[in-house]
Amino acid sequence: MTLPTTATVDLDALDLSALLCSRVCHDVISPVGAIVNGLEVLEDEDSAEMRDFALDLIRKSARQASARLQFARIAFGAAGSAGASIDLADAENVARGMFGDDKTQLTWSAPRALFPKNKVKLLLNLVVIAVTAIPRGGVIDVAVTGEGEAPVFVLTAKGSHARIPAHVEALIAGAPESGTVDAHAIQPFYAGLVARAAEMAVRFSIQGDTVTIRAEPAGPAAAAETDA
């Protein structure tokens, strides 16, 4: 299924920025809260065992908060001046920091090159969606081919109970069924905005326990090549 390239819902700048801020805060508040809890334990406990536990919690949560902020800076933020390029190696590093854990294994195949900012932002936002496609964890393979101005992204998410996330196709198309976008839905909606800005078309497919997300240059030539 190829998603439409014209949105039917248009958020104003204030609503878009507010919803994105809400999304970032949601991602960061959990590890920051854990850091606060760990500090409270250090203040109240004399037990060496509990203090070691608190320090370990603080270390892990600080790393997690840092990883989430670094990811958000590229995926949702400016990450450089207008028209800037981003190294795909940096995108890989923040993606691994954000999602690489015992539950989800991330493999990455991409050239070590500078790509246009919006295309890298789209790639990272598609990684977020790929993670939600395998709620019980599994393997996500990210493959980038082609040159920076006309790349092809193919992400495959394989795991138990894999599914195309509900409403994600309509949200990326900018045409949510409800006609509105809330903080829960802002990420795929934003991915659609970035895809259109980058002149990329996004398609989803599923076969068995594998969901495939493919993004490629939009336009008549790309469509003809896909049909062929």
What DSSP line would sit under the chain, residue for residue? -BPPSS-S----HHHHHHHHHHHHHHHHHHHHHHHHHHHHHHHH---HHHHHHHHHHHHHHHHHHHHHHHHHHHHTS--SSTT-EEEHHHHHHHHHHHH-SSSEEEEEE--SSEEEHHHHHHHHHHHHHHHHT-TT-EEEEEEEES-TTS-EEEEEEE-TT--PPTTHHHHHTT--TTS---TTTHHHHHHHHHHHHTTEEEEEEEETTEEEEEEEE-SHHHHHHHH-
The predicted pLDDT at position 1 comes to 45
The predicted pLDDT at position 221 comes to 44
Residue 80's pLDDT band, with cuts at 50, 70 and 90, is: low
Mean pLDDT of the region 134-142: 95
Mean pLDDT of the region 28-46: 92
CATH superfamily, domain at 83-227 = Histidine kinase-like ATPase, C-terminal domain (3.30.565.10)
The predicted pLDDT at position 91 comes to 95
**Of the listed ranges 91-105, 110-124, 154-168, 204-218, the one predicted with least confidence:** 91-105
Would you list the domain boundaries of the chain?
A: 83-227
Residue 172's pLDDT band, with cuts at 50, 70 and 90, is: very high
Residue 22's pLDDT band, with cuts at 50, 70 and 90, is: very high
The predicted pLDDT at position 9 comes to 77
pLDDT score of 53 more than 70: yes
Task: Give the pTM.
Answer: 0.88
Mean pLDDT, the chain, as a whole number? 89
Q: What is the CA radius of gyration of the chain?
A: 19
Tell which residue, 148, 213, 212, 182, has the closest CA to residue 9: 182
